[in-house]
Structure 1
C-alpha cells in the first residue's frame, strides 16, 4: 500500500510538472499552473487520490 501511495504522489507530481511545462500559463493568471510548485502539488494530490481509490 505504501508503494502505491508513493507512486501516486511521484507520478502525479511528474504529470503536474509536465502539464505546467507543456500547457502552462503564459500570463501567470492561471491559479493552478502559474507556478511549477502549484502544478506539482495539484498533480501529487490528484495522484494520491487516484492511488487511494479502489
Structure 2
C-alpha cells in the first residue's frame, strides 16, 4: 500500500470513530439489548471499522508495470 492509501484509510477510521460515538450518543439503545449500540466502545469500534472500509473503497491502486 502507498502512503496515500494509508492516509485515506486512517482518515476513514477517524471519521468512523467519531460517527460511531455520535450514533451511540444521539441514537443509542434505550433497552440495553442492542449488540452494537448498547455500549460506547462497541459503537466506536464498529464505526471505525466501517469508516476504514468505506474510505478504502475510494483509493485507487497503483498500476502495475507490464513485463515484456
TM-score by length of 1: 0.92
Work out the CA distance in 2 between the residues paired with 1:15 and 1:51. 13
Relative to its length, the structure with more helix (as a share) is: 1
TM-score by length of 2: 0.74
Higher-Rg member (1/2):
2
Residues 3-23 of structure 1: CA deviation (Å, up to 9, x unaligned)? 101100000010000000000
Structure 2: state its 5+ residue gaps.
Answer: 59-68
Count of aligned pairs between the two proteins: 54
* RMSD over aligned Cα atoms: 0.8
Q: What's the offset of the Cα at 1:27?
A: 1.4
